[in-house]
Amino acid sequence: MADKKKLYIRTYGCQMNVYDSERMAEALGAGKDGYELTENLEAADMILMNTCHIREKAAEKIYSELGRFKGLKTAKPDLKIGVAGCVAQAEGAEIMRRQPAVDLVVGPQTYHRLPEMMQAVAKGEKALDTDFPEEDKFENLPVRPKVKRAPAAFLTVQEGCDKFCAFCVVPYTRGAEVSRPTARILSEARALVERGVREITLLGQNVNAYIADGITLAGLIHQLAEIDGLARIRFTTSHPNDMGDDLIAAFGTCDKLMPYLHLPVQSGSDKILKRMNRSHSAAQYLQVLERIRAVRPDILISGDFIVGFPEETDADFQATLDLIRAVNYGQAYSFKYSSRPGTPAAERALVDADVADARLQELQALLSVQQKAAQDAMVGREVSVLFEKPGRLKGQMIGKSQHLHAVFVAIPDGPDAPVVGDLRRVRITESSANSLGGVLID
């Protein structure tokens, strides 16, 4: 039997792209002519880039990478190159114009059509599909393969965004908010658990806007919590305005819901929040967090920040630092504003680049201190760790705590040694730059 053709996928951007890459690999792997995954670029018969359009740098990087892949095609003329994800959606045919070596462009809502598209590509044609189709792509994707899985998995439950923040391309690249039916999510989750998954992170661009047949994200979480063998549930990314009462309450009532919440605010200045079209004030954001902390005092809060948004003054920036001090973040992601064509903010005058750079540095310095303090505060505490893989040192394993801290544990030999997928109690003994160290308790 001839060897299967090899597919190399490179994933950029958010966790939803990680999930989509898995599903695209499954779609391309199905059937007798299907591809199998390789991690070796040189061995690939097809290279698929699953791209991110969120900031200019991310999008431009795709073109420079494509330039490199083109060289591989000179040596191997049958090599196929595909571009998927948000750059594909946003730029469509322009990608093939800028880089003629590209054979295929597929958007995030049409990748269930990849097998047909590949038939055209096999004939030497170009294939492009960036529709927002009527049909549900998940329903048209192959059944997920019955293979053993890593203990932590992503599961997309909601896509798209109706919020139209003035800086953001997502409403254009991912389309309007759509939630998947609860029953289908539950059956996908059960199948993941049968294959070894113990922790599921529910994904959506606005995951807490999830609503399907009257079932909210909190309702979905409570139903998922009934699945035996599923030990942990997380969700990301949320919008402050969609933190419903039932979702806040779930942090206090659902043991399987982990004490970690990524809740971007972007800015602490009400003037900038208004110009960003965020539809909430800094005080409203703080109130939401206060209510969550009342039911789950140990919750670790994570956020996203943009500095240098058009017309951001020093006073606006100070308001962001004040908000950060008030919240005390355990994790955070911060970015310099990047003007994106087609978004409302792209029309506005930019803040001086040096000023924006200096603000980003100051903000990141403050956030790092908070993150390190949150991590250091774990020393001496007992946490539960879901073991994900062996560490680099012999006899060591790495897992994640409830708060999503990476934890390295030295494992004594013996019958009680944990294996990948086990959840065990660990006492934290040290905190280093980006991880914790600990010892097994039982």
In terms of CB distance, is 201 or 402 closer to ligand SF4? 201
Q: Residue 53 binds which one of ligand SF4, ligand 5AD, none, with CB within 5 to 8 A depending on kind?
A: ligand SF4
Q: Residue 304 binds which one of ligand SF4, ligand 5AD, none, with CB within 5 to 8 A depending on kind?
A: ligand 5AD
Based on the shown chain and the rule CB under 6 A, indicate whether residue 264 belongs to the binding site for ligand SF4. no
CB of 13: closest distance to ligand 5AD in angstroms?
A: 9
Q: Residue 205 binds which one of ligand 5AD, ligand SF4, none, with CB within 5 to 8 A depending on kind?
A: ligand SF4
Based on the shown chain and the rule CB under 6 A, indicate whether residue 85 belongs to the binding site for ligand SF4. yes
* Beta bridge pairs of residue 388: none
Name which of 385, 382, 381, 372 is nearest 330 in CA terms.
Answer: 372
Based on the shown chain and the rule CB under 6 A, indicate whether residue 262 belongs to the binding site for ligand SF4. no
In terms of CB distance, is 267 or 431 closer to ligand 5AD? 267
Q: Which pair of tokens denotes residue 322?
A: 């004040």
173 upstream amide cis, omega within 30 of 0: no
Contact mark string toward ligand SF4, 121..160, x via CB under 6 A: ----------------------------------------
Q: Residue 330 binds which one of ligand 5AD, ligand SF4, none, with CB within 5 to 8 A depending on kind?
A: none
Determine which residue in the list 86, 203, 261, 306 makes contact with ligand 5AD, applying CB under 6 A: 306
Determine which residue in the list 52, 185, 272, 411 makes contact with ligand SF4, applying CB under 6 A: 52
CB of 170: closest distance to ligand 5AD in angstroms?
A: 7
Q: Which pair of tokens denotes residue 89?
A: 């959606």
In terms of CB distance, is 57 or 148 closer to ligand 5AD? 57
Q: Which pair of tokens denotes residue 317?
A: 């920036």
Based on the shown chain and the rule CB under 6 A, indicate whether residue 310 belongs to the binding site for ligand 5AD. no
Name which of 357, 409, 385, 374 is nearest 303 in CA terms.
Answer: 374
Based on the shown chain and the rule CB under 6 A, indicate whether residue 269 belongs to the binding site for ligand 5AD. no
* Beta bridge pairs of residue 199: 152, 232
Determine which residue in the list 158, 173, 206, 208 makes contact with ligand SF4, applying CB under 6 A: 173
Residue 365: partners with Cβ closer than 8 Å, 6 or more residues away: none
Residue 351: partners with Cβ closer than 8 Å, 6 or more residues away: 308, 309, 310, 311, 312, 337
Based on the shown chain and the rule CB under 6 A, indicate whether residue 238 belongs to the binding site for ligand SF4. no
Interface with ligand SF4 (CB under 6 A), residue total 14
Based on the shown chain and the rule CB under 6 A, indicate whether residue 171 belongs to the binding site for ligand SF4. no
Name which of 336, 339, 348 is nearest 310 in CA terms.
Answer: 348
Based on the shown chain and the rule CB under 6 A, indicate whether residue 54 belongs to the binding site for ligand 5AD. yes
* Separation of alpha carbons 108 and 16, rounded Å: 10
Rounded to 5 degrees, what angle do the CA atoms 331, 335, 340 make? 140
In terms of CB distance, is 54 or 367 closer to ligand SF4? 54
In terms of CB distance, is 7 or 84 closer to ligand SF4? 84
AA letter at 120: A
Asked whether the beta carbons of 367 and 332 are under 8 A apart, the reply is yes
Of 174-182, 333-341, 400-408, 424-432, which part binds ligand 5AD (CB under 6 A)? 333-341
Q: Which pair of tokens denotes residue 105?
A: 């462009």
In terms of CB distance, is 275 or 340 closer to ligand 5AD? 340
* Separation of alpha carbons 65 and 41, rounded Å: 12
DSSP string, 188-220: HHHHHHHTT--EEEEE-TTGGG-EETTEEHHHH
Based on the shown chain and the rule CB under 6 A, indicate whether residue 86 belongs to the binding site for ligand SF4. yes
Based on the shown chain and the rule CB under 6 A, indicate whether residue 46 belongs to the binding site for ligand 5AD. no
AA letter at 400: K
* Separation of alpha carbons 113 and 384, rounded Å: 42
AA letter at 63: Y
Q: Write down the residue that tokens 């097994």 correspond to.
A: 440
Chain residues in the site for ligand 5AD (CB under 6 A): 54-55, 167-168, 264, 266, 304, 306, 335, 337-338, 340
